[in-house]
Amino acid sequence: MPRLQPPLTHPRETAATAVPAAFARRTAVVTGAAGFIGSHLCERLLDLGAEVVGVDNLLTGRLDNLSHLRSVGGFRFQTDDVTRPFTVAGPVDFVFHLASPASPLDYARHPLATLKVGAMGTLNALELADAKHARFLLASTSEVYGDPLVHPQPEQYWGNVNPVGPRSVYDEAKRYAEALTSCFQRSGGTRTRIVRIFNTYGPRMRADDGRAVPAFIQQALAGEPITVAGDGSQTRSLCFVADTVAGLLAAATAEHADPVNLGNPHEITMLQLAEEIRAMTGSASAITFVPLPADDPKRRCPDITAARAHLGWEPTTHLRDGLRQTLDWAQQHFPRQASATTGRSAS
């Protein structure tokens, strides 16, 4: 059985600890800026001295995620639906395309919007990068691998995806977005990068987005049953948001143009995760089991050989440390009432 992530035994300088000077006095556009990862990316870019234009239609993002940045010099926000052509004023050096519903509950609520942002949204973001002669980074997902038959998943694996299942609106939108991004790269007009983000967690996750970490924390804090899908033996590999953001920055500045996995290679079962969160909260919540969602991956773990070799990146945050930071934030921001979410162990 997988166990909790051990401390790293080979610490070295990575993109998470090196300061990428490439962003100082540069302008970056971040679509999906009001989302969980997008807001952390905006914050880090500003820390590095970049000018940041955050773009979001607020379908699933929240302005609260950016409230501490609204008065920061160098940051501006514009409400735009990237599925329609859009532009930003002035020069642009980087376009980070993160816009998309990203949790199973969200893309089940907004299936057409999910398909549109993966298709038309990606095209419009690419055309913005092309017009501005900017480098483009697509935030893709481990969901392109589907319910994988290869473990861990290397970038060369083409996946095991149900193209008409309930998760297909997200899976296939991201697969198409990768194809479109690769087409722009091959055409020679736009410098593009593709990162496949595995399960990421941390402060600013919504309590009601249905993913395992916020759902388990919300249920434990509320004293409600912690609901684990299936028998809890399915695994995920959880990467703290600061590490994921460091990987995005490293990928955006690297010369490696092929897709690259960003994630933590240490697996944990969903039952173990539920037990760990219950222990950390001191909750008396019972752990109960609910049906496994259709097409839910049984194992999910990245091969990060390429990220180590080409980006100089690997995660450095121990799972318990990341969960503690997430829990500390949740105790201040999550509602203390019965949760309507379940621990869907999805990415």
pLDDT for 335? 82
Arithmetic mean of pLDDT, 89-116: 96
Query: In angstroms, rounded to a whole number, what is the distance separating the alpha carbons of residues 93 and 312?
Result: 22
pLDDT for 17? 44
pLDDT for 289? 95
Query: In angstroms, rounded to a whole number, what is the distance separating the alpha carbons of residues 37 and 32?
Result: 8
The CATH code of the domain that includes 115 is 3.40.50.720
pLDDT for 20? 65
pLDDT digits 0-9 by tens, 13-71: 444 444 468 899 999 999 999 999 999 999 999 999 999 999 999 999 999 999 999 88
Q: How confident is the model at residue 346 (pLDDT cuts 50, 70, 90)?
A: very low
User: Is 6 a member of any domain?
Assistant: no
- 81-85, 158-162, 193-197, 304-308: which has the minimum mean pLDDT? 158-162
User: Is 122 a member of any domain?
Assistant: yes
User: Is 195 a member of any domain?
Assistant: yes
Check residues 202 and 14 and name the one with the higher pLDDT.
202
pLDDT of 291 above 70: yes
User: Is 135 a member of any domain?
Assistant: yes
Arithmetic mean of pLDDT, 244-251: 97
- In single-letter form, the type of residue at position 336 comes to R
pLDDT for 342? 44
pLDDT of 9 above 70: no
User: Is 328 a member of any domain?
Assistant: no
Q: How far is CA 210 from CA 105, 233, 241, 282, 309, in A?
A: 6, 18, 17, 22, 34
pLDDT of 246 above 90: yes
Q: What's the DSSP call for residue 41?
A: H
Catalytic residue numbers?
170
User: Is 291 a member of any domain?
Assistant: no
Arithmetic mean of pLDDT, 290-304: 88
User: Is 273 a member of any domain?
Assistant: no
Identify the domain containing residue 255 by its residue range. 22-202+239-265+299-316
E strand spans, the chain? 27-31, 51-56, 75-79, 94-97, 135-141, 192-197, 200-201, 226-229, 235-236, 239-240, 260-262, 268-269, 287-290
Number of separate domains in the chain: 1
User: Is 156 a member of any domain?
Assistant: yes
Q: How confident is the model at residue 337 (pLDDT cuts 50, 70, 90)?
A: low
Arithmetic mean of pLDDT, 224-247: 96
Query: In angstroms, rounded to a whole number, what is the distance separating the alpha carbons of residues 225 and 203?
Result: 22
Arithmetic mean of pLDDT, 63-87: 95
